[in-house]
Amino acid sequence: MAFNLNCYPVVYRAKYRDGGWAEEYLEKPHKSAEEEAKLPPAEAEALSASRNFYPDMPLVNYTTQYGLGCFEGVKALPQKDGGLAIFRPDQNGRRFSNSMEGLFMPPLPADMLVKALTSLVKRNADLGFRPRYRAEWEKDNYANADSIYLRPFTYSEGGIGVNISREPWVVAVCTPVSSYFSEGSSDAIVTEKIRATPRGTGWIKADSNYVIAALAKEEAHRAGYMECVFLDSQNHRYIEEGSSCNIFFHLKSGELVTPELGDTILPGITRKSVIEIARDMGVKVIERKIAIDEAMSETRECFVSGTAAGATPISSLTWQGKKAPFAFPGELSTAIQKTLKGIQYGALPDTRGWMFPVL
């Protein structure tokens, strides 16, 4: 299923005006969850499209014209005990607030976003829109397990001419999601495109950052690769991240290396979680620059991390016509994925306080 634009019926919306945020929940057109599951494809598509329509929000604005906006990716997951819980929304709240400030918008406070997302998931679940835990997911470490993808994003007031947003909306929707990467190739290739430059917006989860990422990933797909990997803009030597994921290299020395954060790399919440899990396993984790030639020659296994990707292994990396194969799936990435997903789905104890209960 991967990403699926079949938004659940209840939507959160907040508008900044006169120094404060006015919040509301909109209940878009819907039938019961059971009735919708039985609809013919054309009717289901039409109903879904009707939920992705907001006639009172301006079409011409700084978001649609210039990509001035930011967003988050958050997951709510069915729990083994029958409940629902959100994975680390406090971290998403802080990053979203920082992103809005970085774009000179009035920031939505982090605690407001956490409360909004919790209420949003519950309101939809109360209408029957939620996945249920299935024991068979455990057989492949939840590689194809269902979850709810939460997408909070900003949308500017009407305007034309390059400008900043002073009275933005924040909208949050829920969609069903399963595995992010499609079956088939697990290979990656180094792209010649540049994702971010120093003193730019690479550290912000900005809409505009994903234009280059989408183009580079499409080029990779057309060439038969699952993922693309970006190098730095100045030296064209140091690895930064994947198309929409942070990246890790388990070296032959036993060290787990991931590129150090800076203003060109997104501070991933799954990245942060992977580092904590690996260190708890006794793995030496180092955040530093890693050159492409070192990664090609010294890597035992490689994986990418992200809200949708979890910890997804990469089978090889191609650069300038040379291919470096990696252990696939690697022991470490498998162990990290099993632990991460086990915590997220409530099959393992949450000793870190990462999961925020909804039901």
Active site residues: 205
| Dist CA 312 CA 137 (whole Å) | 16
Q: Could you tell me the end-to-end alpha-carbon distance of the chain, in angstroms, rounded to an integer?
A: 24
Helix segments in 242-330, DSSP class H: 269-280, 292-298
Single-letter amino acid, residue 136: E
* Coil, helix or strand at residue 302: strand
Q: Residue 284 — φ and ψ, nearest 5°?
A: -80, 110
Tokens at 178, concatenated: 């399963």
Cα–Cα distances (Å) from 31 to 11, 25, 35, 87, 141, in that order, read 15, 18, 6, 28, 33
Tokens at 310, concatenated: 């979890």
Do 217 and 226 contact (CB within 8 A), yes or no? no
Give the length of the chain.
359
| Dist CA 353 CA 261 (whole Å) | 24
E-state strands within 64-158: 74-78, 84-87, 147-155
| Dist CA 286 CA 278 (whole Å) | 11
| Dist CA 240 CA 232 (whole Å) | 6
DSSP characters over 278-292? HHHTT--EEES--BH
| Dist CA 32 CA 127 (whole Å) | 7
Tokens at 265, concatenated: 């790399």
Do 338 and 138 contact (CB within 8 A), yes or no? no
Single-letter amino acid, residue 320: Q
Tokens at 225, concatenated: 């690769």
